Amino acid sequence: MKQNIYGMTTKDLEEYFISINDKKFRAVQVYEFLYKKRYNNVDEFSNIGNNIKERLKEDFSFDKIHLVTKQEDEGVKKYLFKLQDNEYIESVLMYHDYGISLCISSQIGCNMGCSFCQSGRLKKVRNLESYEMVEQILLVEEDIKTRITHVVIMGIGEPFDNYDNLIKFIKIVNNPKGINLGTRHITVSTCGLVDKIKKFANEEGQVNLAISLHAPTDELRKKIMKIAKVYSIKELMDAIKYYINKTNRRVTFEYILLENVNDSDNCAYELARLLKGMNAYVNLIPYNETDNITYKRTKDVQIKRFYDILKKEGITVTKRKEFGSKVDAACGQLRSNYNK
C-alpha cells in the first residue's frame, strides 16, 4: 500500500528524494504546493520535472479523507469524516475571541473506557495515521476558507495511545514550510498515561498539555475512569510535576462536572488541595448530556459555587464556553447517531 503524502515530514521526503538520486530540496517544494498553495494534483506542481511528478504519483497516495456531513450552531461547526476503510471520525471547530480552534480525533474509537464519554462506547478499531489527522485540518480550512489558529487533539481517542503518529502529526503541522502552526497553539489532551507524559516531556517544542482529571481522589476517579485503576493520582501527579519541571510549561486540568458525582463542595476543596502550588489551572467543563449515558449536567448554581471555591483556595480556574446546543456536541455523538 502506498504511503500517503500528507503523512510525510520534510525529513521523510528529503530521504525519499535522496533515495531516488534527486535533490533533497524537492521536499520543501512539495510541501509548498501541498500546504501553501494547497494543490492536490501533482501535475500542477511547477518547477518539478515530469519524470519526478510521475515518480511521486507512482510512489505516493494523494488521497484525502471524505467530508460526509457537518452540523452548525452559533460559534461552532461539527464535522463527520469518512475514512478510506469506511470508518468515521469527527472534528469540532470553535470560534473563540482569541482565534479559531479545531478539536481533532486521533483514533477510531477508544479503549480508555471513561464512563461519561460517548466516544469510548465504541472500542478502539485502530489508530489514525498521521495523514488522517493532518487532513482534518486541511479539509476544515478548505470549508471555512480561512486559517485555523489553534488545534486541540481532544476528539475521539486517546492521543498518547497513538504516540508515534501523534508526534509525526505535530512535526508536520508545525513545519514553517507546511501548515506552520506554532507548537504553543497545539494542545494534546490525555486521560493520564503516565509513561507517555514523561516521554512527552522530553520531546522538542512547546506543545501544551491538558490532563483529563475529572476527580480529585483515587476512589472517585476509579468509578468514572478506567485509567485510574492503572495509575494512581499520586503517580499521575508525579509525572505531571516531572513534565512541568522539564518543560517549564503550565498544565491544564480538564474537569467535567457531573451532577451528584464529582461536583460537590468537598470535591472542590479536595481538588484545590491536590493542585495547590502547581504551575497549572483548572478548566471546568459543563457536561454535554447524551441519550446513551445517564450522567447529568451540573446545574449552573453549583458550577458557579465549585468555581468560586477553587478561586477562593487560590487555584487559577476557567469555565469552558459552552458550544453546540443544536448539534451533537459530545465527542462521538455525531458519529454514533450517523451510524444509527
Name the residues annotated as catalytic: 90, 331
Dist CA 153 CA 210 (whole Å) = 10
Q: Are 224 and 287 in contact (CB under 8 A)?
A: no
Task: Report which of 241, 242, 156, 159 is spatially closest to residue 193, judged by C-alpha positions.
Answer: 159
Dist CA 149 CA 151 (whole Å) = 7
Q: Are 335 and 87 in contact (CB under 8 A)?
A: no
In terms of residues, how long is the chain? 340
Dist CA 44 CA 266 (whole Å) = 62
Q: Are 166 and 212 in contact (CB under 8 A)?
A: no
Residue 297 phi, psi (nearest 5): -70, 135
Task: Report which of 101, 96, 106, 94 is spatially closest to residue 135, judged by C-alpha positions.
Answer: 106
Provide the Cα torsion 140, 145, 151, 154; round to 10°.
Answer: -30
Beta bridge partners of 285: 256
For residue 176, count CB atoms less than 10 angstroms from its CB and return exposed for 0-12, middle for 13-18, buried for 19 or more: exposed
> C-alpha distances in angstroms, 330 versus 144, 159, 256, 325?
22, 17, 12, 10
For residue 188, count CB atoms less than 10 angstroms from its CB and return exposed for 0-12, middle for 13-18, buried for 19 or more: buried
Dist CA 308 CA 310 (whole Å) = 5
Task: Report which of 249, 260, 215 is spatially closest to residue 233, judged by C-alpha positions.
Answer: 215
Beta bridge partners of 281: 252
Angle between helices 163-174 and 130-144 (to 10 degrees): 40
